[in-house]
């Protein structure tokens, strides 16, 4: 694959040059709790998921989501202020959200069961 940008970490003390910082999308659909998340989430959070599954996180927890967005955007700004090139992912399209939901029923869209497969499919397009 000629012309592709190489990504790598060659030591743990070198200067950070580039980084990917996530985003908080305009729509965050609360998933239904699945067996896999019940192993590490608190009972209160599992109950919140059950009650609010399918709703938009911005509607049920606007202050928390806004604070998270502010922290992530602030982190990206901090890196940029120190000369680090920051890459930000684009929000998923509706088709991509439907695909992710179909391959991970009851899972978390941000940490899906086929994360490596999705990255494999889109990874080449990130640095073109």
Q: What is the pLDDT of residues 32-62, one digit of tens each?
A: 777 777 777 788 888 888 898 888 889 988 9
Instruction: Please indicate whether residue 78 or residue 107 has the higher confidence score (pLDDT).
Output: 78
Q: Annotate 54-91 with b (16+ C-beta within 10 A) or e (fewer).
A: eeebbeebeeebeeebeeeeeebeebeeeeeeeeeeee
pTM for this entry? 0.66
Q: What is the pLDDT of residue 124?
A: 40
Q: What is the pLDDT of residue 114?
A: 39
Q: What is the pLDDT of residues 2-40, one digit of tens each?
A: 667 776 777 888 888 899 999 988 888 787 777 777 777
């Amino acid at each position: 694959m000629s012309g592709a940008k190489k990504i790598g970490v060659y030591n743990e003390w070198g200067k950070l040059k580039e980084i990917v910082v996530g985003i908080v999308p305009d729509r965050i659909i609360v998933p239904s709790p699945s067996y896999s998340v019940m192993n590490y989430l608190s009972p209160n959070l599992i109950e919140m998921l059950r009650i609010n599954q399918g709703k938009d996180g911005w509607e049920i927890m606007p202050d928390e989501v806004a604070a998270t967005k502010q922290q992530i955007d602030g982190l990206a700004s901090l890196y940029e202020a120190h000369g680090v090139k920051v890459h930000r992912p684009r929000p998923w399209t509706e088709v991509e959200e439907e695909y992710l939901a179909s391959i991970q029923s009851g899972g978390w869209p941000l940490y899906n069961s086929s994360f490596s497969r999705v990255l494999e499919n889109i990874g080449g397009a990130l640095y073109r």
